[in-house]
Structure 1
Amino acid sequence: MTITVIKPGMLSSFQDMGRHGAQHLGIPVSGAMDTRAHRLANALAGNAAQEATLEITLTGPVLRFETPACMALAGALLSPAINGEPIPNNRPLIIRKGDILSFGVRQAGARAYLAVHGGYDLPPVMGSRSTFLGGGFGGLHGRALRKGDVIPLLSALPEGGLDSLARTLNDMRIYLPAIVGFASRETLRLLRSHHTPLFTEQSLKTLLSTPFRISPHSERMGYRLQGPRLSMHEPAQLLSEPTSFGSIQVPADGNPIILMADRQSTGGYPKIAHVAAIDVPQVAQGLPGDTLRFREISLEEAQSEDVRREQAFARLDQELGGFHDLLRTATT
């Protein structure tokens, strides 16, 4: 029950919902950059949200399935195909022994997520299968995929009955609310930070009225932004404190950094704002050169959006319940 890596792609690594509870030890949370797409791929493949997916960045891998499986892709549109035939995102699909999954031209987004029913057979490290590339642990040998890697699976589908199962999946109608799908917003929503009063009023106005461009020096640790400099009323020495996904730090050069999945566990730079959790996945799908605009919302509005997202995932899980039961019955 394995998958063979024929080509690794630009950067393909296994991620889950993150390695929580170890930041006090200096261990980053890591996990999927776009948690919404990660969760959607898992739901469509009949997995729990915490199951690891393969995070695929820009140029996808070429993978040969050595066993039949049910798979699903979500997130960026990277022109996926099985044996050269185009396949859609956001659908559970049957893939047979010997089939080749490949990717082509990027159409939108930066990161896609591949889930396989039953999950990947990877050893958890500190309770997570996420790959921390900087530390060299988690995922598959603590690194991105390489040519010739063999990825073990936890379960497989039997050879018999695949045609019938494929027809059942093809006939399924799946309604995806916009809040759980891949979508683009013109303006990202922000919340003020407890450090916001340290910045000049003009800096906050600039952040909320001026477009910023994603710098080429952006990666899983943080997205550096290019635009007008943001400044404080006066220099201040701050105690280091825990960091969070989506916080916008401003170092001495005045160029903001949005902290992402592999962010450091603590930091002492002042934080002018936080990207609302509902919009962090859109940041993760951005590319160097893309423009980001921001607007302020209240904590109550941000919490309301989080509730809406969780309700949408709960409805989706309920809708897919019969399909999940079918997969569990068929899986060996």
Structure 2
Amino acid sequence: MGMTANKPGICTTVQDLGRTGYLGSGFSPSGAMDQRAAVCANILVDNEPHAPVLEFCLAGPMLRFTTPTYIAIAGGDFRPTLDGMPIPAYTALPVKRGSMLAFGAPATGCYGYLAVAGGGPKVPRVMGSASTNLKCGIGGLKGRALTAGDYLSFETRITEYLPNLASHRIEDEDAYYEHENPQVTLRVVPGPQTDLFTDEGVRTFFNETYQVSGKCDRMGFRLDGPPIETVAGSDIISDGIALGAVQVPNHGRPIIMLADRQTTGGYAKIGTVASVDIPKLVQSPPGRTVRFEAVTVQEAQELYRKEHLHFRALEKMVRRPCYGGVSPRKTARRLTPILEAQALDAAGRPLWIETEKTAHHRTKRSE
């Protein structure tokens, strides 16, 4: 039981939070481009934060469900509809068998995420991860993007009930992305090769504005803007590439490395974008203006800690007791053995009111 792709969308893949521990062997981590949205979608349907989700870019898929379940949509606003009716994002929703989920072009953002209750799509784990690595052809659904007619089964065959469903919603998550703002500020930890850039080059990077170009993909986002001056070119002996590393090739314009980045690179890195700001970048369409703000490693770590606490608070929030949060069937199943045991224990005993009446009559006779 699962869902069928009537239309695949653009680059619809199964992703989790990435394949860690294999950079030294030449495997990029892959994983969701917007990890914040993927985690939020999973939290909304009571999945583990690292459970696999469907990620799509610029155009979402059209999916038919072959089993009842619950879903949550997060990320960009792809104007989703269920059986032709508009549905909200960042809300857990029931889906019936045979229902059709469709997406339009994004009103905001670039990447969308679909989480399914019970653990998400059921795909083999490769090196401990369900993430699709398109270059290597591993993970996800046979290492590739969805095509028309593909079928994805679910980890849990049927999810009939989601406790406290009315609490499974997240308000104002769009405020984090600042979609209405034509400019996004990314916090950057300087280094590790800042010394290869002139003082003027560093000032240019942190004081000028750049624009997201049309040459962006899961490997990295290229930015257009004033060139960053180097001391004697930006070629270096290849070394490791972290998520958010800002490479500056010889043309002087930055490239921010993302989920499907190469594991090593031979261009100097002027800084690394704090991981909590990566979602703001990847949800920025071409033409959006980008500015950079320097932060320390300690400040970046504190931002990461606050995000982790935010996710923990969301987990508690969606589990709050609410109206309709108790399943009558489950309650009946739990109460039945208790009531039966009480009935057997009380068999043959007189009711308390009868006992009191008998004691009252005895008192009167003795008088």
- Superposed pair shares fold, TM > 0.5: yes
Q: Do the aligned residues in 2 keep the contact of 1:179 with 1:309 (CA within 8 Å)?
A: no
Shift of 1:208: 1.4
Supply the distance in 2 between the matched residues of 1:315 and 1:202 (Cα, whole angstroms).
43
Note closer, same or farther for the CA distance 1:79–1:108 as it changes in structure 2 (3 Å cut): same
Q: Deviations over 1:42-75 (max 9, x none)?
A: 1101111111110011111100000001110111
Q: Do the aligned residues in 2 keep the contact of 1:37 with 1:181 (CA within 8 Å)?
A: no
Which residue of structure 2 lines up, in the alignment, with residue 172 of structure 1? 167
Supply the distance in 2 between the matched residues of 1:291 and 1:261 (Cα, whole angstroms).
21
Q: 1:190 aligns with which of 188, 191, 194?
A: 188
Partner AA of 1:264 in structure 2: Q
Which residue of structure 2 lines up, in the alignment, with residue 114 of structure 1? 114
Which residue of structure 2 lines up, in the alignment, with residue 131 of structure 1? 132
Which residue of structure 1 lines up, in the alignment, with residue 296 of structure 2? 298
* SS at structure 1 position matched to 2:37: helix
* SS at structure 2 position matched to 1:187: strand
Q: Where in structure 1 are there 5+ consecutive unaligned residues?
A: none
Shift of 1:209: 1.8
Supply the distance in 2 between the matched residues of 1:236 and 1:108 (Cα, whole angstroms).
35
Shift of 1:105: 3.4
Which residue of structure 1 lines up, in the alignment, with residue 205 of structure 2? 207
Shift of 1:288: 2.3
Supply the distance in 2 between the matched residues of 1:177 and 1:290 (Cα, whole angstroms).
21
Q: Do the aligned residues in 2 keep the contact of 1:72 with 1:114 (CA within 8 Å)?
A: yes
Q: Do the aligned residues in 2 keep the contact of 1:187 with 1:292 (CA within 8 Å)?
A: yes
* SS at structure 1 position matched to 2:12: strand
Q: Do the aligned residues in 2 keep the contact of 1:229 with 1:253 (CA within 8 Å)?
A: yes
* SS at structure 2 position matched to 1:213: strand
Larger Rg, first or second structure (1 or 2) = 2
Q: Deviations over 1:157-201 (max 9, x none)?
A: 366xx6xx69x52x3374557599544473111110121121011
Which residue of structure 1 lines up, in the alignment, with residue 50 of structure 2? 50
Q: Deviations over 1:9-33 (max 9, x none)?
A: 1121111110111111111111000
* SS at structure 1 position matched to 2:215: coil
Q: 2:266 aligned with 1:271, yes or no?
A: no
Which residue of structure 1 lines up, in the alignment, with residue 155 of structure 2? 154
Note closer, same or farther for the CA distance 1:116–1:326 as it changes in structure 2 (3 Å cut): farther
Which residue of structure 1 lines up, in the alignment, with residue 227 of structure 2? 229
Note closer, same or farther for the CA distance 1:117–1:292 as it changes in structure 2 (3 Å cut): same
Supply the distance in 2 between the matched residues of 1:158 and 1:304 (Cα, whole angstroms).
37
Q: Deviations over 1:286-328 (max 9, x none)?
A: 22222211121222222221111111111111223468x989x
Q: Deviations over 1:82-137 (max 9, x none)?
A: 01111111111100000000012311000011000121110011111101111111
Q: Do the aligned residues in 2 keep the contact of 1:36 with 1:181 (CA within 8 Å)?
A: no
Supply the distance in 1 between the matched residues of 2:42 and 2:302 (Cα, whole angstroms).
24
Matched residues, percent identical? 38
Note closer, same or farther for the CA distance 1:131–1:180 as it changes in structure 2 (3 Å cut): farther
Note closer, same or farther for the CA distance 1:174–1:2 as it changes in structure 2 (3 Å cut): closer
Shift of 1:231: 2.2
Supply the distance in 1 between the matched residues of 2:74 and 2:222 (Cα, whole angstroms).
25
Which residue of structure 2 lines up, in the alignment, with residue 32 of structure 1? 32
Supply the distance in 1 between the matched residues of 2:26 and 2:326 (Cα, whole angstroms).
42
Supply the distance in 2 between the matched residues of 1:7 and 1:236 (Cα, whole angstroms).
44
Supply the distance in 1 between the matched residues of 2:47 and 2:12 (Cα, whole angstroms).
20
Q: 2:282 aligned with 1:281, yes or no?
A: no
Note closer, same or farther for the CA distance 1:147–1:41 as it changes in structure 2 (3 Å cut): same
Task: Give the RMSD, CA atoms, in angstroms.
Answer: 2.3
Supply the distance in 2 between the matched residues of 1:20 and 1:196 (Cα, whole angstroms).
27
Supply the distance in 2 between the matched residues of 1:51 and 1:291 (Cα, whole angstroms).
33
Supply the distance in 1 between the matched residues of 2:298 and 2:21 (Cα, whole angstroms).
26
Supply the distance in 2 between the matched residues of 1:93 and 1:215 (Cα, whole angstroms).
36
Select between 176-185 and 203-212 the one with higher mean Cα deviation.
176-185
Give the number of aligned pairs.
Answer: 322
Q: Do the aligned residues in 1 keep the contact of 2:60 with 2:105 (CA within 8 Å)?
A: no
Q: What is the TM-score normalised by the length of structure 1?
A: 0.90
Supply the distance in 1 between the matched residues of 2:232 and 2:159 (Cα, whole angstroms).
66
* SS at structure 2 position matched to 1:151: strand
Select between 295-304 and 246-255 the one with higher mean Cα deviation.
295-304
Q: Do the aligned residues in 1 keep the contact of 2:44 with 2:168 (CA within 8 Å)?
A: no
Note closer, same or farther for the CA distance 1:174–1:271 as it changes in structure 2 (3 Å cut): same
Q: Do the aligned residues in 2 keep the contact of 1:59 with 1:78 (CA within 8 Å)?
A: yes
